Every structure is written in C-alpha cells, then in structure tokens.
C-alpha cells in the first residue's frame, strides 16, 4: 500500500469513529510505531487531524475530557449513547447491594437512572453524583470525602483510605482511556491509588466507556485491562479493539440506544 493510500484509509477511520490510535495503524497497515507516528504528524501538518497521546482525533472534534475533572450536575451530556449505557449499567444493580459510581458524566447519568423503590447503598467521591443520589429516597449515600478538587471530586489519601474500608458488591469505573495493551489509563498520576483502591475493594468491576475512549492511551496506566470484569460501551466501539479486550478476559457489552437491551 502506498503512503497516500494509507493516509486516506487513516482519515476514513477517523471519519467513521472520530479517532484512531497508533497501535491500530500498526496492526491494520503492518507498519512500525515510528511510521505510524510519522503518518499522524504529516496529516496533522496538513490540517487533516489533531494528534493526541497515543493517536489522533478528527479536526473540530473536542479532545477527550477528563472524567472526574469536568463532570458537574449540569454538565452531563444529554446524548442517547450515554443514556443507554447508564440504563444498562443500572439494570445490573441488585437490591440491597453496595455500589460505587464514578465522578463522571456516566456516574451522574447512572445516578439519575436509578429507579424508585430500588434499595441500595451508593458510594461516590463526587459532589455532583452525591447531589443526584440525594433525590432518591431509597438510596443510602456514602460520600467518600477528602481533599476536594475544582470539580468537587476527592482522590487524595483520605479518600483512598476510606475506600479501603468499604466493600462494594459492584463498582462502575471510568478512567480517561482504556486499551488492550496499556489497560486503564489516566492523565493524572494522583488518581492511580484511588482507582486501584476501588478495584481492590470491589467484588465486581464494570467499566463504562464511551467508544471514543477505547483504544486510546493516557499518560499513566492504572492497571491492566483485566482489572475490569466487564465493559459496557456504545455502538460506535471498534470491534477489533473489543476483541482485544475480550482476549484480556473482559466481557464486552455493546448497547444500542435503539434497542431495549444491549448485546
């Protein structure tokens, strides 16, 4: 394949999915890491994409927001994919269980989707998520406090120690990115102990990841992808990347907002 053909194929991938990773380019086109990076640099110089850590996104597409840093009560995006993922996640929750909801738009959406009459204890390290939970009369709220960041979330040592004293029947996790090779990753190393504490205190861990976060890699790895028991995502997820996660031992559930149940 000529380099121009490869560049055209890369742009087609981004047009279809919104992003591409250097690892995908290597696998799909049989080139080395340096060649994949050079392809993205050339295309960026032509104004055809924007490079990110581990790959690239389309021009005009916002970069991946940091879960836990940008989510607020009025900031959870109203989109059908996120709502469908949240509804499916909530359907997994059993009566009288103890769960953890993440400090993200996904966590807020799941809090809103909790049905009336479901008696459950929910732990949260986010003021925004806790505020949603307070409106649910049958929900017992456990607020994980500590040093609070600007988004109203707690990740420091106090929060970590409290998480270690809890036992979750199920925890829903969202980090900046997830990939088969680099696992769960974040942009801030300060969050690593918190997420590992949540995983260590959980009987079952469920990742809630928008398709744009799958295959991308942030600066710091939290743990291997196998830290999750299963992953729930939207219909935009790349099947090859999901297959890589399946090989890592993770059950992947793709939720189509047009259907009642995921598949």
Who contacts 53 (Cβ-Cβ below 8 Å, separation ≥6)? 216, 217, 218, 219
Tell me what pLDDT residue 172 has: 98
Q: CB burial class (10 A; 0-12, 13-18, 19+) of residue 224?
A: middle
pLDDT digits (tens, 9 = 90+) for 42-68: 888 888 888 876 788 876 554 544 454
**Residue carrying the six token digits 């269980």:** 97
pLDDT digits (tens, 9 = 90+) for 212-257: 889 888 889 999 999 999 999 998 888 888 999 999 889 999 998 7
Average pLDDT, the chain: 86
Local confidence band at 70 (pLDDT 50, 70, 90 cut-offs): very low
Question: pTM of whole model > 0.75?
Answer: no
Local confidence band at 260 (pLDDT 50, 70, 90 cut-offs): low
Domains, the chain, in order of start with CATH, read: 3-58 (1.10.10.10), 80-255 (3.40.50.1360)
pLDDT digits (tens, 9 = 90+) for 89-105: 999 999 999 999 999 88
The C-alpha atoms of residue 112 and residue 78 are separated, in whole angstroms, by: 12
């Amino acid at each position: 394949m000529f380099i121009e053909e490869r560049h055209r194929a890369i742009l087609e991938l981004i047009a279809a999915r919104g992003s591409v990773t250097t690892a995908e380019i290597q696998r799909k086109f049989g080139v080395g890491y340096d060649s994949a990076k050079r392809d993205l640099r050339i295309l960026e110089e032509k104004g055809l994409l924007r490079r990110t850590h581990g790959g690239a996104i389309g021009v005009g597409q916002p970069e991946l927001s940091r879960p836990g840093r940008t989510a607020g009560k009025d900031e959870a995006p109203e989109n059908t994919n996120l709502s469908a993922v949240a509804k499916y996640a909530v359907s997994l929750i059993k009566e009288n269980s103890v769960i953890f909801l993440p400090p993200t738009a996904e966590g807020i959406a799941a809090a809103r989707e909790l049905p009336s009459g479901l008696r459950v204890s929910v732990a949260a390290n986010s003021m925004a998520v806790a505020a949603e939970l307070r409106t649910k009369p049958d929900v017992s709220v456990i607020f994980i406090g500590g040093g609070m960041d600007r988004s109203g979330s707690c990740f420091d040592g106090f929060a970590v120690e409290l998480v270690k004293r809890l036992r979750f029947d199920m925890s829903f996790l969202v980090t900046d990115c997830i990939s088969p090779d680099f696992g769960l990753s974040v942009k801030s190393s300060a969050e690593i102990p918190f997420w590992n504490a949540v995983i260590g205190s959980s009987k079952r861990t469920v990742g809630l990841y928008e398709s744009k976060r799958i295959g991308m890699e942030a600066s710091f790895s939290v743990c291997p992808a196998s830290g999750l028991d299963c992953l729930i995502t939207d219909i935009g997820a790349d099947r090859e990347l999901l297959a890589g996660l399946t090989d890592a031992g993770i059950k992947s559930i793709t939720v189509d907002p047009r259907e009642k149940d995921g598949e």
